[in-house]
Amino acid sequence: MRVRIGPTLKVGSLLALLATLGGCAVAYGTASPAEVTQLRDQRDACLAQNAIRLDDYRSDAATVGRAVVAACSPQNDALIRAIAGPDGYRESEIARQIQQNSQEAATQYVLSHRAAMSVRR
């Protein structure tokens, strides 16, 4: 039996980061959890759409995933800014974690799309 791991594998990590920084939200004007969730959903939609659009079915999934993440950099940047807030507290660490999460999610979207396409054939 194969266990399928969804593209939001690291959502728990991201939420833990938000919870840690949650106390700073009021003091430093970071986005609310609802706003961050909305931005994450927009980023995930971008990743899913571009995984289909950019997949050449020849390159390995991680390579396509990197192109997908690059195509969604405006959504990632908005998510990073929302979490880091106007003072940019720990922005480089937040950016690293979001980029890693995006790469993993994009690669999973590519693999899921390929699996769905192979069933249709």
Chain segment 71-92, per-residue pLDDT in tens: 999 999 999 999 999 888 899 9
Does residue 4 form part of some domain?
no
Could you tell me which residue, 99 or 23, shows the higher pLDDT?
99
Q: Are the CB atoms for 63 and 114 separated by under 8 Å?
A: no
Does residue 108 form part of some domain?
yes
Could you tell me which residue, 106 or 13, shows the higher pLDDT?
106
Token pair in block for residue 52:
């289909």
Does residue 21 form part of some domain?
no
**Domain extent at residue 85:** 32-120
Does residue 2 form part of some domain?
no
The percentage of residues in the chain with a pLDDT greater than 70, rounded to a whole number, is 75
Could you tell me which residue, 14 or 112, shows the higher pLDDT?
112
The domain total for the chain is 1
Q: Helix, strand, or coil here: 29?
A: coil
Does residue 97 form part of some domain?
yes
Does residue 113 form part of some domain?
yes
